[in-house]
Structure 1
Amino acid sequence: MNRAFHIGAIAWICAVLLSVPLGFDPRAKAAVGACLLLSAAVMRKRLPLWLCAATVAFGLSLAWLALYSSLTFSAAARLEGAFVDLRGLVLERVEYGDYTRLTLVTEDGPLPSGIRVSVGAPGALDVSPGDVVEWELIMDSPDAASRAKLYADAVGLRASMAGAPRLIEKRLNDGRVLFARYRDAAASHIMRYLTGPEGGVLAAMATGRSELIAADLRASYARAGLSHLLAVSGLHLTVFAGLFDALLSAARCGRRTRAAAGIAAVLLFMLMTGCTLSVVRAAVMAVICRAALLLGRDSDTLNSLGFALIVILLQNPYAIFSTGLQLSYLATMGIAACADPVCAWCARRLWRTDARSLRRLHPFGYAALLAFSTSVCAGVFTAPVLCVAFGQLSLVAPVANVLAAPFVMPALAGGLLCGLLGFIPPFAVLARACALAGGASIHAVNAIASRWSVLPFASVPVRAGLVTLWMAACILGGALLAANRAPHTVRLYAASLAVVALLAGMLARAVAWGPTVELAVSQSAGSVALACGGQGAVIGEPDSVADAQNLAAFLKDNGVKRISLYAVREDGALFSNRTHALSEILPVDTAFGLDQTYGFTAELPGAHVSAEGKDAEIVSIEMGGLRIVKTFDQTPAAADVLINARGQIVAAPGVRLKTTARYYNCEIMTLRRTGAAGPDVLPRAAARQTEGMP
């Protein structure tokens, strides 16, 4: 079968991933795209269908990317780093404890109308969806990778407050605002009727409000390979569509009636959950499937997947940089292409029969085997993205997903019904019953995640780009060998070559980097966490409850069971909600305020932490032959790496520093000394750090 849309989608992805990171000029993209489209038009009768589809998709992708960028985000990019006074409609508000993030769509000002701006603000700010505000903002200047992530979410700029917002009017009848307010209200209904961690997970599954989940529980789900359950995705839409179709079947509706009603239900679910990219992908595929049913035609899963992705990328070509869409696309591709062959292979090996006979003779065994094969195929295809996005690879995911699968449908059904019935006061008892039923299923899933995540082999950290590239190459090579039915000896040779390449790469990296030190710095650099020898220390009070949970998750993933040292600037911070949130997850052995001491010295395995004088504003961490200094003000300090009160991190010459903000919502800092520091290196680093500051 010629899968033109499937091949075209792959070519489209390659074009975007090659052109955006390399920063090609938009005019060059448009020219290359036009040449490819012209070549495909001239040679369309000479080229095979798959090559013609790939050429057209590659050329169209480049041309559309150049046009879309110039029409949509070019004006926004020119205002990065500037103070801007704009007018906009608040579409969404997401709470993170003491901190909130608002999404505005511009209506007036220096930006074109319709540009989305993401604004960070204090949690106490009295602004809600539907408010039209005038606001002076400071636009951030993100790096290229962060900018692509923003554009993937259709956000043109990220900003922080420069002044208080001025309310102009309330516009509560806007369709986008209505659906956002529905999600907020539905989540509050679920949390009201179902307290505890189960309520947060159920609200996330039903409405997409994943910020309600504690960081330690989120980490357990990630280690067990169940984190895809915590965000509304194609899986949830598939479950919802299956439940809706089952209800219509029970009502004895005809096939065409069920297909038409299913399309309407899928579109409604997509709007209710915020039109996340993975849900849109699944919705387009579901509409294609049901439209084919209405027309009496067959639909091909891989072609439908490719068509759905092209539809999304036509709406926003940067959407491919969304981690959720990448995982959704690769998981669906792996399941569609490999789940049935893997299930058939396992049936022949384990039961000595073909899959069709196994399905007839042992239906439960076949269902379990198919679920396991589906989980394995999805996990293999998504492994490189999981490593890049989350820094770890779950080894227990196939088993954990099979165990959790029976509880997903009742949990989602209970959450959706509770969210809807909560709007009708006479049905409050029924809403509570639905919440409790869904909560029972969530409790079982939480237990599976917690028990499997504590196993020492549950997940392995994979943060090296080399390993991720190796995994992607192995998956691609394995798929090509399987498609071409390569002999056993060729497969064995390829596997041996892959192992040798991995070992050689790891050896080269070890020689290049040598021993390293890793710390987690909160987003505003208010606190620093370090783990060494199974013991941990936190310097500075976390900026929010979410920050405290993220730092604790970092420490736990590095083998820390208790926090040996917790030093804050003021003694009163020891009694704050943020400190309480930290100590709830990891017990604290020693805690004190620097304003109540005359300096201190602490020894951890492989690390020396100290401060001098009363009301010390500088804490020194010596580990791995390096001196890392955390300052609570702008005082210059001699250091290999300086972390100051403004959230800036600077390494001295002779120190190799690599940072990433992908994990734990923190800046994970990996560093080592690469050369001998001269006598003037450390003061120079401090001088560079404070240059241009008041």
Structure 2
Amino acid sequence: MQRPLIWFSVAFAVGCGIALFGVSIPLAAAVLMLAASIIIGRLVSPTIPVCVLLAGLTCGLAYTDAYHRYITDPVSGLEGLSQHMTVTAADYAVQYEDSQRLEVRVDGSDVGLKTGFRTLAYLPLTEEEIKPGDTITGKFEFYISGLREGFDRESYYRSQGYFVLASVNKNAEITVTQPEYRPLSYYPKLFAQKLRDVFAQYGTERQISFWNALATGDRSDLTTADRDHLRKAGLSHVIALSGMHVGFLISLLLLVFGRKLGTALGIPALLAFYLMVGWSPSVVRACVMYGILLLSFWVRRQSDSMNSLFAALLLILVILPDSLTSVSLQLSFAATFGILCFASRIQYLLALPKRVRNPVKRLYRVLSGTVACTVSSTAITAPILLYHFSYLSVFSVLSNLLALWAVSLVFPLLFIGGVSGLFVPTAAAVLLTPAGWLTDYILWVSDWIAGLPYGLLYCENHVDFAFAIVLSALAALLLWKGSRRVLAAGIPLLVLLVVGISVWRGTAVQNDLHISVLPEGSGQAIVISCGEQAALIDCSGSGYHNAAEDVAAYLDWYGIDSLDLVILTSVDLGHARNVCELFREIPVERVLLPQKNRENKTPYPEVIQTMETLGISYEMLAPETETAVGNDSLGLSVLGTVERKLVVRIQSEDQDIVTVHALTQNMLLELTDQTPLPCDTLLVSGGFSENTEKMQELLRRIAPSQIVLESGWESGTDYGGIPIVNPYYTGQIDWKTERD
């Protein structure tokens, strides 16, 4: 049998996957299955890997079950425990407005466990920065994060190895103590912070955030716009540490120190790099593969990249079976598998004639290699991207062709410049200045590609996803079995087909009405768009939400440059908290707000002053009957008479939505005494369901088909038989009305 490790690793992964879905087998059954696989293997032809597959499947099932039983479940069982204890910081903290989050290591004996574990802890802000290796003493409460804003946080954290989270009350005191001796394993983290400190002296804010992400994996300072543009351009892998970054590091060592010394330094460098950036399946995969490659250099043996890939998969699943659900692992392995299978065939297709001179060939080989790797990885990862993110970047080949050569230069400049800056600041300035120019170019490419129309292909239903799988399978088949002539014709046709579908879909939805309720905690922000027209109802977020940033990111993602209309249903913190910031960032043509307001009440004076300073036209409404506002295509109207409040209806051929988020129950009862308010969907605030008698009377009068509870941490699935949808759990709520 050839490559038994590959067969075993694949079967082991399948066994892990089955176990993760809740199928477990006792140890005795695992032993019997393993024995059966050996017997079957002796009875059938050795060229058929039946025994290896059965053995891998059995081991994956049994190992995952045992891992959960003896490691995962005891740690998860700490949920609800409140314990005064001392933990050790494993990284620097990410700072928030009133708290900080960092990875900590917990001594198992402090909580009644035999082994320690790592987790994420949310702590009050401290005067001094917490460093890796410092100990933190306080009263920690353990909890498990669930579904929030459409994102299954529990599964995500488990795939990262965090089986329970911890927090300290923001008003409680914690004690931070620096150790007399800091273990060597924390020094790579300290080195990463030194690099960030050097970067901060020589770049702009935007450059520095990109450098931190590229060199150290710290993406916390990247703006939402830069993150989204990189995603839309198909360049998000540049800031997601993976095999590309590890390859840059090893290539730099080999270039600077030569093959022999560079190989000797390579494995310690891989270990240090892993400790610097932290656990990530993509980084572990890359470190294992490059580690095997360096060992093969050292012993003068040829390595098998495909075997190395599946050896890395097996190792990661042994360390953490739950990482199989990690999007990072799925994309990293799928992309690498595609490159190993197909990249060489594409480069063969794109090869230049032999008569072309060597300098031109070298440059062309780099460009063709970029195209080959991008096409190969996309062919395999497309279904995964569509499944998890519901979109695919159509112009990723172009963006990678334009940007990756610059990334390959920026990475070594950052490392050499960062290290030089620790000793010779002048050298850092010399190296980081061109790194800044190249970074500006990369971000310009990202901005330009992200701004191109029809650059995203969306997956809107199961039919789209099935079609994507068929296309991906067809592309893989062509790349695997196609002759040079077939590849020359088939691949361009597939690319043109994808681009054509994207243009067709994009053109078809241009005139559709889109209504989106953004999840903003106890605030409200609703975006309505149709063609070139766009309007916003309220702009207020709470907690860690900033509605101005969220609205700006939404508009940028969908290529909307300005707002034709902003309606403030109330000029208070619950509805206009972030609107002044939005006015300064996004062009707004007109604003509607209630006529009677508390003029000294925050944020009313600032809203009026900001609009007058920026020259934004505004009008105060006090209609007695339903009044249409804005462009007819948006279907907006203001209803009734309520002091200091507006009630807004959004109506189309198949939607009838009314927001009463700004109203109390008494206000709405008074309004419905005068004006009928039937609708399909009623948008209310979190505390609206209080006082059952009034609520039942309101629902009898309005008779909505569903309720959107726009704020509140807890909600049932229905109220009096009417379904409830809460963006806190489901995430952004979207409606679309197709129009010819």
Task: Report the TM-score when normalising by structure 2.
Answer: 0.75
> What displacement does 1:271 show?
1.7
> What displacement does 1:2 show?
2.1
SS at match of 2:687: coil
5+ unaligned residues in a row in structure 1: which ranges? Answer: 250-254, 674-694
> What displacement does 1:74 show?
0.6
Contact 1:96 / 1:211 at 8 angstroms: preserved in 2?
Answer: no
User: Structure 1 CA distance, aligned partners of 2:128 and 2:460?
Assistant: 40
Moved more, 310-319 or 516-525: 516-525
SS at match of 1:404: helix
Which residue in the other structure is 1:608 paired with? 636
Residue 434 to residue 391, structure 1, CA distance change in 2 (3 Å): farther
User: Structure 1 CA distance, aligned partners of 2:201 and 2:359?
Assistant: 45
SS at match of 1:532: strand
Contact 1:657 / 1:671 at 8 angstroms: preserved in 2?
Answer: no
Which residue in the other structure is 1:289 paired with? 293
Moved more, 643-652 or 367-376: 643-652
Residue 430 to residue 632, structure 1, CA distance change in 2 (3 Å): farther
Which AA in structure 1 matches 2:310?
A: G
Residue 167 to residue 44, structure 1, CA distance change in 2 (3 Å): same
Indicate yes or no: 2:114 matched with 1:116. Answer: no
Give the counterpart of 2:220 among 208, 211, 216: 211
Task: Map 1:490-569 to 2 at 5 A.
Answer: 519-522=516-519, 524=521, 526-533=523-530, 534-537=533-536, 539-543=538-542, 544=544, 548-563=548-563, 564-565=565-566, 567=568
SS at match of 2:732: strand
Give the counterpart of 1:327 among 315, 328, 331: 331
User: Structure 1 CA distance, aligned partners of 2:513 and 2:110?
Assistant: 48
User: Structure 2 CA distance, aligned partners of 1:432 and 1:632?
Assistant: 53
Indicate yes or no: 2:475 matched with 1:458. Answer: no
Contact 1:139 / 1:158 at 8 angstroms: preserved in 2?
Answer: yes
Which AA in structure 2 matches 1:297?
A: R
Which AA in structure 2 matches 1:23?
A: G
Give the counterpart of 2:445 among 444, 448, 454: 448
Aligned residues: 636
Which residue in the other structure is 1:688 paired with? none
Which residue in the other structure is 1:399 paired with? 398
Indicate yes or no: 2:733 matched with 1:669. Answer: yes
Give the counterpart of 1:267 among 258, 268, 271: 271
> What displacement does 1:215 show?
0.6
Which residue in the other structure is 1:5 paired with? 5
Which AA in structure 2 matches 1:626?
A: I
User: Structure 2 CA distance, aligned partners of 1:644 and 1:660?
Assistant: 8
> What displacement does 1:634 show?
1.1
Residue 528 to residue 133, structure 1, CA distance change in 2 (3 Å): farther
Which residue in the other structure is 1:428 paired with? 425
Give deviations 1:71-96, integer Å, cap 9, x for gaps. Answer: 2221233344x353353333332235
Which residue in the other structure is 2:712 paired with? 646
Indicate yes or no: 2:209 matched with 1:200. Answer: yes
Contact 1:237 / 1:283 at 8 angstroms: preserved in 2?
Answer: yes
> What displacement does 1:598 show?
8.0
Contact 1:11 / 1:58 at 8 angstroms: preserved in 2?
Answer: yes
Residue 378 to residue 478, structure 1, CA distance change in 2 (3 Å): closer
Give deviations 1:38-70, integer Å, cap 9, x for gaps. Answer: 222223333436443332222211111111111
Residue 124 to residue 590, structure 1, CA distance change in 2 (3 Å): farther
SS at match of 2:332: helix
Which residue in the other structure is 1:679 paired with? none
SS at match of 2:275: helix
Contact 1:86 / 1:136 at 8 angstroms: preserved in 2?
Answer: yes
User: Structure 2 CA distance, aligned partners of 1:275 and 1:140?
Assistant: 20
User: Structure 1 CA distance, aligned partners of 2:101 and 2:405?
Assistant: 35
Residue 61 to residue 518, structure 1, CA distance change in 2 (3 Å): farther
> What displacement does 1:378 show?
1.2
> What displacement does 1:647 show?
4.1
Give deviations 1:222-263, integer Å, cap 9, x for gaps. Answer: 1110111122222111111111110012xxxxx443322222
User: Structure 2 CA distance, aligned partners of 1:137 and 1:125?
Assistant: 22
User: Structure 2 CA distance, aligned partners of 1:48 and 1:275?
Assistant: 37
Residue 128 to residue 536, structure 1, CA distance change in 2 (3 Å): farther
Task: Report the TM-score when normalising by structure 1.
Answer: 0.80
Residue 379 to residue 643, structure 1, CA distance change in 2 (3 Å): same
Which AA in structure 1 matches 2:561?
A: K
Residue 224 to residue 410, structure 1, CA distance change in 2 (3 Å): same
User: Structure 1 CA distance, aligned partners of 2:58 and 2:647?
Assistant: 56
> What displacement does 1:17 show?
3.0
Residue 441 to residue 359, structure 1, CA distance change in 2 (3 Å): same
Contact 1:132 / 1:168 at 8 angstroms: preserved in 2?
Answer: yes
Give deviations 1:136-164, integer Å, cap 9, x for gaps. Answer: 43624525953221111111123555454
Give the counterpart of 1:635 among 688, 698, 707: 688
Contact 1:641 / 1:649 at 8 angstroms: preserved in 2?
Answer: no
Contact 1:292 / 1:299 at 8 angstroms: preserved in 2?
Answer: yes
Residue 414 to residue 17, structure 1, CA distance change in 2 (3 Å): same
User: Structure 2 CA distance, aligned partners of 1:626 and 1:574?
Assistant: 18
Which AA in structure 2 matches 1:19?
A: A
> What displacement does 1:132 show?
1.3
Which residue in the other structure is 2:656 paired with? 625
User: Structure 2 CA distance, aligned partners of 1:328 and 1:214?
Assistant: 24
Which AA in structure 2 matches 1:464?
A: N
User: Structure 2 CA distance, aligned partners of 1:620 and 1:110?
Assistant: 54
User: Structure 2 CA distance, aligned partners of 1:575 and 1:606?
Assistant: 21
Which residue in the other structure is 1:91 paired with? 90
Moved more, 108-117 or 610-619: 610-619
The structure with the larger Rg is 2
Compute the RMSD of aligned alpha carbons.
4.1
Indicate yes or no: 2:238 matched with 1:240. Answer: no
Moved more, 454-463 or 122-131: 122-131
Give deviations 1:405-429, integer Å, cap 9, x for gaps. Answer: 21112211222234434444xx223
User: Structure 1 CA distance, aligned partners of 2:448 and 2:102?
Assistant: 36
Which residue in the other structure is 1:65 paired with? 64
User: Structure 2 CA distance, aligned partners of 1:465 and 1:301?
Assistant: 35
Which residue in the other structure is 1:372 paired with? 371
5+ unaligned residues in a row in structure 2: which ranges? Answer: 599-603, 605-619, 662-683, 690-694
> What displacement does 1:373 show?
1.3
Give the counterpart of 1:148 among 155, 170, 175: 155
Contact 1:225 / 1:400 at 8 angstroms: preserved in 2?
Answer: yes
User: Structure 2 CA distance, aligned partners of 1:659 and 1:380?
Assistant: 34
Give deviations 1:633-685, integer Å, cap 9, x for gaps. Answer: 51336562332432457675576969798xxxx92224699xxxxxxxxxxxx
Contact 2:347 / 2:369 at 8 angstroms: preserved in 1?
Answer: yes
User: Structure 2 CA distance, aligned partners of 1:443 and 1:122?
Assistant: 36
> What displacement does 1:521 show?
2.8
Residue 569 to residue 16, structure 1, CA distance change in 2 (3 Å): farther
Contact 2:708 / 2:724 at 8 angstroms: preserved in 1?
Answer: no
> What displacement does 1:525 show?
5.0
Which AA in structure 2 matches 1:6?
A: I
Which AA in structure 1 matches 2:76?
A: A
Task: Map 1:171-182 to 2 at 5 A.
Answer: 171-172=178-179, 173-175=182-184, 177-182=186-191
Give deviations 1:529-555, integer Å, cap 9, x for gaps. Answer: 423214141534234476643442223
SS at match of 1:44: helix
Which residue in the other structure is 1:40 paired with? 37
> What displacement does 1:273 show?
1.9
Moved more, 290-299 or 129-138: 129-138
Moved more, 11-20 or 332-341: 11-20
User: Structure 1 CA distance, aligned partners of 2:237 and 2:223?
Assistant: 15
> What displacement does 1:168 show?
4.1
> What displacement does 1:221 show?
1.0
Residue 562 to residue 671, structure 1, CA distance change in 2 (3 Å): closer
Which residue in the other structure is 2:346 paired with? 342
> What displacement does 1:562 show?
1.8
SS at match of 2:452: coil
Residue 363 to residue 188, structure 1, CA distance change in 2 (3 Å): closer
Percent same amino acid among aligned pairs? 18
SS at match of 1:433: helix
> What displacement does 1:265 show?
1.9
Which AA in structure 1 matches 2:199?
A: I
